[in-house]
Amino acid sequence: MTIPPDPGSKAGDGNATVYHSLLKGTGWVFLMRWGTRGIGLVSTLILARLLTPEDFGIVAMGTLLVGFLNGFLELGAESLLIREREATRAHCDTAWTIRLIQGAVLALLLVGLAVPVSDFFGEPRLVDVIYLIALSAFIEGFDNIGMVLVRKELDFAKDFRFGIYNRIAVFLFTVLFAFALRSYWALVIGQLAGTVFTVINSYFMHSYRPRLSRAKLREYLHFSISIIPLTVSTYLTNKLDVVVVGRIGGTAMLGAYNVASELSSLATREIVTPLARALYPNFARIADDPVKLVEVFRHVLSTVAMVCTTVPVVFIATVPVVFIATAPVVFTP
């Protein structure tokens, strides 16, 4: 069993140590993010030849429901565990128990809402898809909480390996099923197989063995009060347009729109998201030093602002070229 050491001993190392840790962690997270995106791009190009936009649209409808429900069920167990300066086994086991309960509740809600959501989108095939997504959500709840400790310990090299292994597994499973089935079932079954692999892999990658506990449940629930409204509002802001398109345009239009939406935010999202994954555990380590925290935050914010106002301009300028090169592949059955 590995319980993260007290990070307080590094509090006085100075800003140079903090910046070095940030750069190192961000570098690994960028490698993982872009590595998984590269695998995802290859997967998309292959799947676009084997499947149709309608296939992608059906699965997108199911994932919309998952994202919406997750907003209400996300209690911030991982975030609080990373932020906790002296995490004990009770904190770790309670976090794992909460995630297990979240997975079970999410699965039950998905099963219960499968038919109403199918009627809303006017897509009867969506019912069985949501049932399989529910099974995947339930299995995902058993993921080893030890992989959160990896991020808390700032071991982003191991986090990188874990993410890449899992993405390769999903890629292989999905492509193999696509060749065999030539339907939307390849996307759903591939994801389910990938989830099973991820859970098993999490226990190989970390020696921690969680067990059921409610010792710190009240502490986690108190923290979640501030998490749920933020998660729900963020999801609605980012996905409300997708819901409208799916309701009005159907599966084929939703599939094309979803791909375009993902590509349009690719430039900034792939910069900010990796940063956030590396920043949070580092910020947690200097949370007791407001002066240092503010200084580091200002430096990071100015850098992100500079990059995120420059990259989209280049991206917009190259969109016509990228579209002409990829449209026959992405949008042709």
For the chain, the structural domain boundaries read 14-330
Q: What is the mean pLDDT of the chain?
A: 78
User: What's the Cα-to-Cα distance from 183 to each of 58, 66, 169, rounded to whole Å?
Assistant: 10, 21, 19
Average pLDDT on 16-35 reads 66
| Contacts (Cβ under 8 Å, ≥6 apart) of 18 | 282, 285, 286, 292, 296
Q: What is the pLDDT of residue 57?
A: 84
Residue 280 has pLDDT above 90, yes or no: no
Query: Does residue 332 have a pLDDT over 50?
Result: no
Confidence of residue 268 (pLDDT cuts 50, 70, 90): low
pTM, to two decimals: 0.72
Please tell me the predicted confidence (pLDDT) of residue 267.
Answer: 60
List, in order, residues 6 or more apart from 226 with CB less than 8 Å away. 76
Instruction: State percent of the chain over pLDDT 90.
Output: 30
C-alpha 29/C-alpha 287 separation (Å) is 21
What is the per-residue pLDDT for 270?
Answer: 62
CA dihedral 134, 139, 141, 147 (to 10 degrees): -140
Other Cβ atoms closer than 10 A to 256: 18
DSSP 3-state of 123:
coil
Confidence of residue 49 (pLDDT cuts 50, 70, 90): confident
Dump pLDDT digits (tens) for 168-182: 999 999 999 999 998
Confidence (pLDDT) at 55:
85
Determine phi and psi for 332, rounding to 5 degrees: -105, 125
State residue 7's pLDDT score.
Answer: 39
Whether residue 66 has pLDDT greater than 70: yes
DSSP state of 5: P
**CA-CA-CA-CA torsion for 247, 253, 254, 257, nearest 10 degrees?**
-130
Helices (DSSP H) in the chain: which residue ranges?
A: 15-50, 53-73, 77-83, 89-121, 126-140, 146-152, 156-181, 185-205, 217-224, 227-264, 266-285, 290-330
Task: Report, in angstroms and rounded to the nearest whole number, the Rg of the chain calculated over CA atoms.
Answer: 21
pLDDT tens for each residue of 104-145:
999 999 999 999 999 988 889 999 999 999 999 999 999 999
Residue at token pair 């819901």: 243
Can you give the pLDDT at residue 295? 79
- pLDDT score recorded for residue 197: 96
**pLDDT score for 3:** 45
With beta carbons less than 8 A apart as the criterion, state whether 232 and 71 touch.
yes
Instruction: Output the pLDDT for position 139.
Output: 96
In the block, which residue shows the tokens 């090169």?
325
